[in-house]
Structure 1
């Protein structure tokens, strides 16, 4: 999913992403200019929602510095912890620990902000801390370790998603061409916080 900045048309006219030159050309869009949209977002009268997968893809290409290091560190943490669980399973002959990567995979799927079960995953992520402590006090060490792996994965996925999502929103709110491309490809939405109406691009060019 690529968001083009701009390109030159056959006649030398600048054609922006999605065929729109400005947000004013988007059918049914509530703002007449990008400056008006930026002002609404700054005043929190409106907010930009982003698709988590699109944000992650954009961040992989565009984010640098400490934010990129942090996202990569979360990914590396999950990989290293999964390998450590398998090694520990054979080292201690506690083969239940082999289930840790499976637990991580399930937690990753449900914890992702694009998952339809993300709200339940949030509750489960918070509950995992309580369950971990309870299992530990009961002496169920292996079970507590597996719960800890689920909680660790949940925290890492949500933290990485927060970083990439925030960076993507900030970029969209400052670059009209990027916003037009993302809106066209349904990678973002605009919510009017006063009316609670959400605007998204559709093939029929109608916002809802």
Structure 2
């Protein structure tokens, strides 16, 4: 499916018009966000405002009329990506033993990281130039760590090196390296992370 087709799929059919100008504004807003997301998903991690305008089929002025700067556009995308992944990360864990829950978290994290991969790569490229993206990066890393620590018994959390090794194995940076640098498939990358986590848990004994 081409970029334009993806945009049309995200935008969907227009609602019946009540106020033509308002409806055009809403449609353009959706098209701009969809264009940015489509470009990133297809490998353009730093699309310019001009490129976004071209893909969305709108003028450059229209892009900046809807988004004062590119950070505003990234905020909108972050919100959409967050809505996509929330059902996965918020689902109750299976079982009662922390080891079973950790295994569940490991598998979910692979799914979430793959869904987020192009958008987090794009954010990583821009975060050193964007206070918003840098702040968001710190918040996401802290949240990822917190989700892991919540599952661990107090005695296990007291093992500093285990905790740090586990958080490293379950980090996005680790997933990125396995998927990109080592060029593993999603299935193989998931198996590597699961094997690593299992070995760390086994080492506690």
Normalised by the size of structure 2, how large is the TM-score?
A: 0.28
| Higher share of residues assigned helix | 2
Normalised by the size of structure 1, how large is the TM-score?
A: 0.28
Larger radius of gyration: 1
| Higher share of residues assigned strand | 1
